Structure 1
Amino acid sequence: MRILLLSHYWAPEVGAPQKRWQWLAQGLVERGHDLAVLTPAPHYPAGRVLDDDPRLAAGAIHRDASGAMVHRTAFHPYDSGLGGRGVDQAVAAASALRAGLERFYGPHRPDVVVGSVPGLPTLPAALAVGRALRRPVVAELRDAWPDILTSASSWADGATAPRVRRMAVSALTTLLPPAVTTLERSADAVVTTTESFAQVLRRRGARRVVTVRNAALSQDWHLPQVPLARHDGALHVLYLGTVGRAQGLVSAVRAAALAARAGTRVTLRIVGDGAQVEQVRAEALRLGAPVELWPPVAAHEVAEHYAWADSVLVSLEDWSAMGLTVPSKLYEVLGTGRHVSGAVAGEAASIIRHSLGGDVVAPQDPAALAALWGELAADRGRLTTAGAHDWLDAHVREETLVGRYECLLKEVAGA
């Protein structure tokens, strides 16, 4: 089977979408399928080229470590603003559309086209390529689109944003959701990463909706057991990942400050970068919170931070769409065997509870999170988790997930 994938994110960039498609790509290629990828030159998250290797430049074609044939397209440089990222995604999608039409007619025509979202403009580009090549299209939605657009006012900082930006956001949240839903219904099949969002899409009339979760990548962590006491007497809480708008980590900083004021010895270590890192830093300084801020670390350094941790924080904003979202990092944390402090709702909260992987409080409730950390510090026996690996083995094995994706693609291509 010949598969053509359009994606805005790809290795050697580092992130959840990139990790997801590396194991999916490798699994599909190992099963004998020919995977071609249209993706921009690596530039996430900085907005500028990350590597000057000519094989990664716009226009280049090369086979990468996953076995996929990667066609690099153009992108638009940006800074940390949302507007620049939106323009970048549109430019990259237009470039992918052009390359798809130029390179995949005739003998190179795929059996099926996949469009991976975000970026959002990738979806109409994939549909256009599929229709032009007369091939079915699968839409992969890694987030709850368009539901997440209902929270767009928070992206623009609400009432503090300039009036023009507020008007633009208002138009965005009014006009885009029905358009996105129409595009989703136009796809021959839809892949989601959570079953709760799959159910929403089925009710809206999307066809062939299949859930393919993110995987807990196979790792030999060799982490030491959480000690009965720390030499500094503190509860070590780790957050490792994107420090973005959707994670709501200012609330976690406030929780650490509240816990400290209540007499709990706690250290919150935040490792990562993103749009909200300076806001998080400023709040930690304002409150004098026991927070350490670390820059992103290389993959081989991740285990050191998990070894330091007693509990690992998984946090999301309290936007309604976040209840349909499961952070891919949650599966990795469960794989470490470390206790999870979940400030989440919906399906993510359900996974933590059913896997017996940790404790859950309502998202964006600093007092509740501070109270949880106080309880864990007083009774470190609660940091021992049981059953998480069994849950992962039953629900997110890479081989099973690749097989599910393969079955859907075969079904759609055959139809």
Structure 2
Amino acid sequence: MERRSATAHGPAFLLVTHHFWPETGAPQRRWGALSAHLVRAGFGVTVLAPPPHYPSGKITHSSPEFRPGAVVYGPRGEKIIRVGFREHTLRLLSRAADQAIAALSSMWHGLRPAARSGGRPDVIIATVPGIPSVAAGWVLARCYRAALVIEMRDAWPDLIVPSGILAAPNGRTGLRRRVRAAIAATVHRVVTRLQARADLVVTTTDAFAEVLRARDVARVAVVRNGTAFEAVRSPAPARLDGRALRVLYAGTVGRSQGLDVVVRAAARVKERGYPIEVRVVGHGNDLETLGDLADRLRAPVSVSPPVPATRMRDLYAWADTAVVSLRDWEPFRWTVPSKLYEVMASGLPVTACLDGEAALITTETGAGSVVPPGDADALAALWCGWLADGVVPAPSPDAAAWVAANASDDVLGEKYETLLRHLVDGDAPPGAPASGDVTRASADEASADLLGDAVADALRTKSPTRGSRR
């Protein structure tokens, strides 16, 4: 790679994203923290993002500074260029149209003077979710002759098939089914090809990085999701003394989380004569469905909208354990929900309905207990065991220590900064065999990693799609 010049104020990068401040959510929080670090480190940060319209699909801030075409500076010093969008419903095609329009608008605004006012971008970063953002990033990188970084926060597009979002409705077959299958295959092929051509692909887990290497995507680095959450309590057993077990789920309430298992498990605990109280707090497509299921089963579960971030500590202080859940879909074995790190940092024991890398992190750090995803009987048995004993086991202090060493905002900001400086300086591509595996931490960091090499080896062995490393 040829050496790229930096701007007068330091290296510059252009972020193409579908989700950004002042929206709230995991992608927005991630790039808020990363932007703050990179601005402090002297980077010129420009963001191409549509107006805030998550999760409702309708614009949430009517001020002119959030309208398409507006150019403002965000709270961390980043320049934000608002691009076009389309109000959408919860239907897949409606959301896909919104993402496509935002990607096309990002190409247009990304080449206009406002995006170049700080100098030619050295690096273009395209982040998923928002799969069309990848194509927009590739076009901008070609036009600017800049390095391209593709960031895969989740295992898209692998999740398309198991999630069923392109499945024919009502079990229909024939032409519609073939068309949807062709769309899924085409998206997968295009995204994988762009990943292979990128200067760097960033994933948030070791497991998904291994999957991409097996597909001949050689330049892969891992920058985990992070958290700035601080401990609510010191790890200690929670004495129940005959009272109800207090269980919390706070986060996205969608199809991916499979939270019906929590409702069914709570109903079974109640049927066995044990007191339990479950609170589900969040937003998502399944919020109403989950409430209806709780009513039908007469489960001791309350379902309510999200609370302000300032009240999250109160929820954690109330709970005896916090649930982190994903469905039993193969790509979720390569996924670690950012919520897991938050719960580990809080000092609460995790009830993990997880598999793959997320389950291994929970087990190896002593963060809590793991049950198979979707297994309501196993989950009910776990909670009944605690109630019978009258105590909820404390998590290991190692859990919070692991988060501080591997998933804190400061650590992740430094990792991203190092990767971007490698690209700007024209060093050997991160992840290439000749330069060593930069997806690993430095020797000092690796020695502090509580998972260790044995866990990384287990992840690679467990991945069913693993192939030889390039």
TM over 0.5, yes or no?
yes
Cα distance, 1:181 vs. partner? 0.7
Counterparts of 2:219 and 2:184 in 1: how far apart (Å)?
A: 26
Q: Please give the TM-score of this superposition, normalised by the length of structure 2.
A: 0.84
Which residue, out of 100, 125, 132, partners 2:110?
100
**Deviation, structure 1 residue 257:** 1.2
Map of 1:217 onto structure 2: 228
Q: Distance in 2 between matches of 1:368 and 1:92?
A: 43
The reply to whether residue 52 of structure 1 matches residue 24 of structure 2 is no
Q: Which residue of 2 aligns with 1:325?
A: 335
In 2 relative to 1, CA 106–357 (structure 1 residues): closer, same or farther, beyond 3 Å? closer
1:138–1:187 contact (8 Å) kept in structure 2: yes
TM superposition shift of 1:409: 1.0
Partners of 1:80 and 1:63 lie apart in 2 by 30
Following TM superposition, by how much is the alpha carbon of 1:33 offset from its aligned partner in structure 2, in angstroms? 0.8
Check the 8 A contact 1:152/1:173 in 2, yes or no.
no
CA–CA separation in structure 1 for the residues paired with 2:188 and 2:140:
22
C-alpha displacement at 1:401, in angstroms?
Answer: 1.3
Q: Please tell me the residue identity of whatever aligns with 1:184.
A: Q
Alpha-carbon separation, structure 2, partners of 1:69 and 1:220: 33
Given candidates 266, 276, 290, the residue that maps to 1:266 is: 276
Q: SS state of the match for residue 144, structure 1? A: coil
Query: Aligned residue for 1:12?
Result: 22
| Kept in 1: contact 2:247–2:277 (CA 8 A) | yes
Q: 1:111 to 1:45 in 2, by over 3 A?
A: same
Unpaired segments of 5 or more residues in structure 1? none
Question: Which amino acid letter does the alignment assign opposite residue 73 of structure 1?
Answer: V
Structure 1 residue 172 corresponds to structure 2 residue 183: yes
> Which residue is 1:135 aligned to?
146
- What's 1:401 paired with? 412
For normalisation by structure 1, the TM-score amounts to: 0.95
Hey, what's the Cα distance between the residues in 2 that align with 1:214 and 1:144? 13
Is the 8 Å Cα contact of residues 188 and 207 (structure 1) preserved in structure 2?
no
Q: Alpha-carbon deviation of 1:62?
A: 1.0
Preserved CA contact (<8 Å) 2:248 2:321: yes
Cα distance change on mapping 1:107 and 1:329 into 2, 3 Å: closer
Note the residue ranges of structure 2 that are not aligned, 5 or more in a row: 1-10, 427-470
**Which of 290, 304, 308 is matched with 1:280 structurally?**
290
Residues 156/107 of structure 1: CA separation in 2 closer, same or farther (3 Å cut): closer
Equivalent residue, structure 2, for 1:347: 357
Q: In 2 relative to 1, CA 257–159 (structure 1 residues): closer, same or farther, beyond 3 Å?
A: farther
Match of 2:215 in 1: 204
Task: Between 102-111 and 185-194, report the one with greater CA deviation.
Answer: 102-111
Looking at structure 2, the residues matched to 380 and 182 of structure 1 have their Cα atoms a distance apart, in angstroms, of: 54
8 A contact 1:223–1:307 mirrored in 2: no
Helix, strand or coil at the partner of 1:301: helix
Tell me which moved more, 325-334 or 47-56. 47-56
Higher RCO (CA-CA < 8 Å; seq separation 6+) = 2
**Residues 203-254 of structure 1: CA deviation (Å, up to 9, x unaligned):** 21113210000112143646897741268x2111110000011101112211
CA contact (8 A) 1:235 1:377 kept: yes
> What is the distance in 2 between the residues matched to 1:67 and 1:230?
51
- Using the TM superposition, give the Cα deviation of residue 53 of structure 1 relative to its aligned residue in structure 2, in angstroms: 2.1
Structure 2 Cα separation of the partners of residues 305 and 107 of structure 1: 43
> d(CA) in 1 for partners of 2:50 and 2:241?
46
Q: Which amino acid aligns with 2:19?
A: Y
Q: How much has 1:173 moved relative to structure 2?
A: 2.7
Change in CA separation of 1:372 and 1:318 when aligned onto 2, cut-off 3 Å? same
Shift of 1:57: 1.5
Alpha-carbon distance between aligned partners in 2 of 1:74 and 1:279, rounded to the nearest angstrom:
32
- String of CA shifts for 1:357-399, please: whole Å, max 9, x gaps: 1000000111111111111222344431122111112211322
Q: CA deviation at 1:105?
A: 5.0
1:300 corresponds to: 310
Call closer, same or farther: CA 1:137–1:250 in 2, change over 3 Å. Answer: same
Task: Give the aligned residue type for 2:123.
Answer: V
Q: Which residue does 1:119 correspond to in 2?
A: 130
**Aligned residue-pair number:** 413
Contact 1:223 1:303 in 2 (8 A): no
Query: 2:252: which partner in 1?
Result: 242
CA distance in 2, matches of 1:339, 1:241: 17
2:235, 2:348 within 8 Å by CA — same for their partners in 1? no
**Compared CA separation, residues 150 and 157, structure 1 to 2 (3 A):** closer
Deviates more, 1:273-282 or 1:338-347: 273-282
Task: Name the Cα RMSD after superposition.
Answer: 2.0
Amino acid at match of 1:320: E
Quote the offset at 1:293 in angstroms: 0.6
Give the share of equivalent positions with the same residue, in percent: 40
Counterpart position of 2:77: 67
1:71 Cα deviation after fit:
0.6
8 Å Cα contact 1:335/1:388 also seen in 2 = yes
Alignment of 1:24-63 (within 5 A): 24-63=34-73
CA contact (8 A) 1:152 1:169 kept: no
Alpha-carbon distance in structure 2 between the residues aligned to 1:162 and 1:18 = 37
State which drifts further: 372-381 or 198-207.
372-381
Find the aligned partners of 1:51 and 1:273 in 2 and give their Cα distance.
Answer: 18
Describe the shift of the 1:306–1:110 C-alpha distance in structure 2 as closer, same or farther (beyond 3 A). Answer: same
Contact 2:127 2:134 (8 Å CA) reproduced: yes
Q: Does 1:146 align with 2:157?
A: yes
Deviation at 1:145, TM superposition (A): 2.1
CA spacing shift, 1:106–1:50, aligned 2, 3 Å: closer
**Is the CA contact 2:166–2:181 (under 8 Å) kept in the aligned structure 1?**
no
Residues 49, 107 of structure 1: CA spacing in aligned structure 2 closer, same or farther, 3 A cutoff? Answer: closer
Of stretches 221-230 and 24-33 in structure 1, the one that deviates more from structure 2 is: 221-230
Compute the displacement of 1:167 (Å). Answer: 4.8
Compared with structure 1, are the counterparts of its residues 224 and 382 closer, same or farther at alpha carbon in structure 2 (3 Å cutoff)?
closer
Deviation at 1:264, TM superposition (A): 2.4
1:39 and 1:73 in contact (8 A); partners too:
yes
